[in-house]
Amino acid sequence: MADTPKLSEVEHVKEASNYLRGTLAESLVNPLTGALYPDDTHLIKFHGSYQQTDRDLDSERKRQKLEPLYSLMIRVRVPGGIASPAQWLRMDELADEYGNHTLKLTTRQAFQLHGVLKRDLKKTIQGFNEALLDSIAGCGDVNRNVMCNPNPHESPLHAAVYEVSKQISAHLTPRTSAYWDLWLNGEPQFTSAPNEGEEDAEPIYGKTYLPRKFKIALAIPPYNDTDIFANDLGLIAIEERGQLVGFNVAVGGGMGMTFGMPDTYPRLADVIGFVPADKVVDACEKIVTIQRDWGNRENRKFSRLKYTVDRVGLDVFKAELNQRLGFPVEPARPYQFRSSGDAYGWSIQADGRAHLTLFVEGGRVLDREGYTLKTALREIAAFHTGDFRLTGNQNLIIANIAPEHRLSVQAMLQQHGVAIEAGKEYTALRRGALACVALPTCTLAFAEAERYLPELLDRLDRVIRQQGLAQNDILLRMTGCPNGCARPYLGEIGLVGRAVGRYNLYLGAAFNGERMNKLYKEMLDEDGIVRELTPLLADYAQNRQPQERFGDFVIRQGYVQPTASGLTFHE
């Protein structure tokens, strides 16, 4: 008889949680601490929140014999990245009333509120639920926010793909009533909640949900702006004569790894075939259930789908999917991705509607002297009749602007110091850069990212301009740890924090998101980063081939070898 697997601590917490309730109700009203009970810190993630501390203040508070300044980060789902003006206004209001007066636009097209105290958590969640937003499955061992190409120019194709993203999100939302009981006084706002009188059940997830988080993204070629290959499940829209016919399915992507553990690695998803549009939701469910049944529940460092796929093999995984579906997936259809970034500035449709893509550095919507983006967007939302679209690159599209509102939008942004033509105000390197939150709130961060990257870019911009590369797109991505929230291993230049002020430098990812980078130098400080990149950028400026991307160039010149797969990432 095979030995019974030794389950991780989190598996036991989930099993005993009564469908994600645990002792959260007691934790929330405990007046003796700003923290939750230890087991509840795992369960709160399923409700869309992480417990954090302000690490800038930890030493001083410890000296004063005070507990850390605990707060909650809340991740609010925006399926497909599209929010209404009313929803934008509500998130803006909640950020001021209960948060730290900023909004974070994430690399998964979601909102994040930071700095919410435990006593205000329920009021905050109720606040955005009233605007028909929710945070259930914003985090935790379930399917997270479903990403979708936010480009409104692709209509009606985009509209069809967006509808699929909403269907997938609704279908894979947990069915437990715990969210409604804990936060909404038992009054569900959405059809995903159980009907009155029904007992809790999770027909897709089961009582212990998934072994680890699960991420899904959809993209419409030639734009890979959702970085679908970085996801557990990527869906590539296939169209014929302008109509959506189905999706190529890619499985096994994921960015996280652990320093010092070469058995952990980032991995890009593999395309395994094509599924018609009317069967894609079922295919997503079946892939999720395979991971539910086959994923590693003993060691969370090896629990993502990428490790399941590599352990059993792609052929075995595909055969199991075919069996569960009851039909074989078809051969993949041809497609081509050209880029993974955003196109900034104005675009006008034939019907007169306009779209404006704004560069939002670090995805942080805030007000500071001379740049009051948060106020500008609040004032625009008050009269805007279109929508707001969060991109996978932490930027924002003010979409479907009525012709009569275009000049007002432009004037409002200029009045508040917001650059409309990002191509004139910023280098392409800065426009394409991504950063995770990192310090001071992320408990996993070894180094700075969002707060520090603009300072580093000030120095790199000087190098870029000296070499005549100011408008050459180069993807730079920085994270404070190796878990990969800003997808650093898909950066043509990737910087991953090792310690305070020290980063590993990675080079050679593909501009279209179809190849990861490779480690080039370790433990560099700021001077070291600039020192290492300066001659590479000079070489690129002088010796690149026509239309050659930086990531391709450093491989051709032999600075790094290409990464063929996750299993060869550390070679």
Q: Which one of 286, 477, 485, 515 is the catalytic residue?
A: 485
Q: In the prediction, which pLDDT does 185 show?
A: 86
Q: Which one of 139, 148, 284, 436 is the catalytic residue?
A: 436
State which residues of the chain have pLDDT below 50: 1, 189-197
Q: In the prediction, which pLDDT does 423 show?
A: 65
Structure tokens at 201: 């059940």
Q: Which one of 481, 487, 498, 518 is the catalytic residue?
A: 481
Q: In the prediction, which pLDDT does 190 show?
A: 44
Active site residue 139: no
Write the single-letter amino acid at 465.
R
Q: In the prediction, which pLDDT does 196 show?
A: 47
Active site residue 213: yes
Q: Characterise 402 by phi-psi region: left (phi > 0), alpha (psi -120 to 50), beta (else).
A: beta
Q: Which one of 14, 21, 45, 75 is the catalytic residue?
A: 75
Q: Which one of 45, 90, 104, 215 is the catalytic residue?
A: 215
Structure tokens at 494: 């990737």
Active site residue 481: yes
Active site residue 215: yes
Q: In the prediction, which pLDDT does 317 show?
A: 98
The order of strands in the sheet holding 270-276 is 147-148, 216-219, 233-240, 243-251, 270-276
Q: In the prediction, which pLDDT does 195 show?
A: 47
| Distance, CA of 498 to CA of 478 (rounded, Å) | 12
Active site residue 144: yes
Cβ count within 10 A of residue 266: 25
Active site residue 442: yes
Q: Give the CA distances from residue 491 to residues 25, 230, 365, 379, in Å, rounded to whole numbers and listed in that order.
A: 42, 12, 23, 35
Q: Which one of 90, 442, 498, 515 is the catalytic residue?
A: 442
Q: Which one of 21, 108, 144, 549 is the catalytic residue?
A: 144
